[in-house]
């Protein structure tokens, strides 16, 4: 496998590099970047051959969009695939907090969840201005899920389906965007969303990994049947598949529970028999499903970004995949690289 491998999404014709650039870190997620350091991260990804770039208004109150847009401005727009998200409207606010959850030193805006038709139109216009672009290749309705909204997620999802999605359909008809869909953290929410809409491409974070394969039951078969492409984020489950089962390992943005650490240890032990690193297997497993258009990876620094590229291109023996199946660590029906 190569970072530069291309899968063309048949329904839209969009060409995706196997590895995409995840823009959350340069929005100052769990640490502060300078503008210059953010620019270098994007430049390094481009030099590696990455041509798919993803961001969102929620990544640091527009900071990630601003930095990514400026970093990409010097490249030919026709050579890259660009996605951002809708569902948040940013309002300049005096004395707004400089931190928001895990995002630090962010612009003085207040983000409001807004899945209405008008809210989507306003959000897209804001994103265009921040990113210095006249169009997007993909727009995802962002975070209308249980992880973000708790018990209120059903109402937010309903509004996303009946109001936000028609707004995206209008933008698709106008040629402002090529592909539309959802970007969420939960398989059941994504499945409900794609059943109810004519989505082209969607982004699922953290749910199809070496540790979790529930999307094989319903979501991935629907995607294959309808020609819906899937971008996978969080293929390390937010940490533990990158670090292994170490003290302080993270899972779903929190401390990894004991059962997850135990499974990660079993995975790591089998990888160790073949002298292959666990994160290399995690990356390649996620990309192996034919419905997956790209795996989108965020990195904290240049060394980490280079390591991710090297891991993706590591040779993994076929017997390793067979051993994982035999140990019931991956499902029988889960595709693996050949």
Question: Active-site positions?
Answer: 54, 59, 85
Q: Which residues contact 67 (CB under 8 A, 6 or more apart)?
A: 23, 26, 27, 33, 35, 38, 39, 42
Q: Would you mind telling me the total number of residues written for the chain in this entry?
A: 338
In degrees and rounded to multiples of 5, residue 292 shows phi and psi of -85, 120
How remote is the C-alpha of 265 from its chain's centroid?
A: 25
Report the DSSP beta bridge partners of residue 238.
none
Pairing of strands 88-92, 109-113: antiparallel
Tell me, letter by letter, the H, E, C secondary structure of 105-124: CCCCEEEEECCCHHHHHHHH
Q: How far apart are CA 177 and CA 330, in angstroms?
A: 36
Closest CA to 131 of 201, 84, 178: 84
Closest CA to 50 of 76, 17, 25: 17
């Amino acid at each position: 496998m190569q970072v530069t491998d291309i899968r063309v999404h048949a329904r839209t014709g969009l060409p995706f590099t196997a590895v995409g650039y995840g823009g959350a870190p340069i929005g100052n997620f769990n640490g502060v970047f300078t503008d210059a350091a953010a620019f270098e991260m994007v430049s390094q990804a481009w030099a590696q051959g990455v041509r798919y770039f993803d961001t969102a208004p929620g990544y640091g109150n527009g900071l990630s969009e601003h930095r990514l847009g400026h970093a990409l401005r010097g490249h030919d727009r026709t050579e890259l695939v660009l996605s951002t998200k809708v569902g948040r409207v940013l309002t300049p606010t005096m004395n707004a907090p400089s931190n928001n959850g895990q995002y630090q030193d962010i612009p003085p805006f207040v983000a409001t969840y807004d899945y209405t038709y008008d809210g989507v139109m306003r959000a897209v216009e804001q994103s265009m201005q921040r990113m210095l672009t006249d169009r997007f290749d993909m727009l995802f309705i962002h975070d209308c899920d249980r992880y973000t909204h708790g018990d209120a997620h059903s109402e937010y999802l309903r509004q996303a389906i009946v109001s936000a999605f028609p707004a995206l359909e209008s933008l698709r008809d106008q040629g402002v965007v090529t592909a539309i869909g959802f970007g969420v953290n939960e398989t059941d929410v994504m499945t409900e969303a794609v059943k109810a809409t004519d989505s082209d491409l969607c982004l699922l974070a953290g749910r199809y990994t070496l540790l979790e394969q529930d999307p094989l039951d319903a979501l991935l078969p629907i995607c294959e049947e309808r020609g819906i492409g899937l971008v996978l984020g969080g293929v390390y489950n937010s940490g533990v598949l990158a670090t292994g089962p170490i003290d302080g390992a993270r899972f779903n943005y929190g401390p990894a529970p004991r059962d997850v650490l135990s499974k990660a240890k079993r995975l790591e032990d089998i990888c160790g028999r073949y002298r292959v690193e666990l994160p290399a297997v995690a990356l390649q497993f996620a990309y192996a499903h034919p419905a997956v258009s790209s795996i989108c990876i965020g990195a904290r620094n240049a060394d980490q970004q280079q390591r991710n590229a090297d891991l993706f291109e590591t040779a993994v023996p076929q017997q390793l995949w067979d051993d994982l199946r035999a140990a019931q660590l991956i499902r029988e029906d889960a595709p693996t690289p050949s």
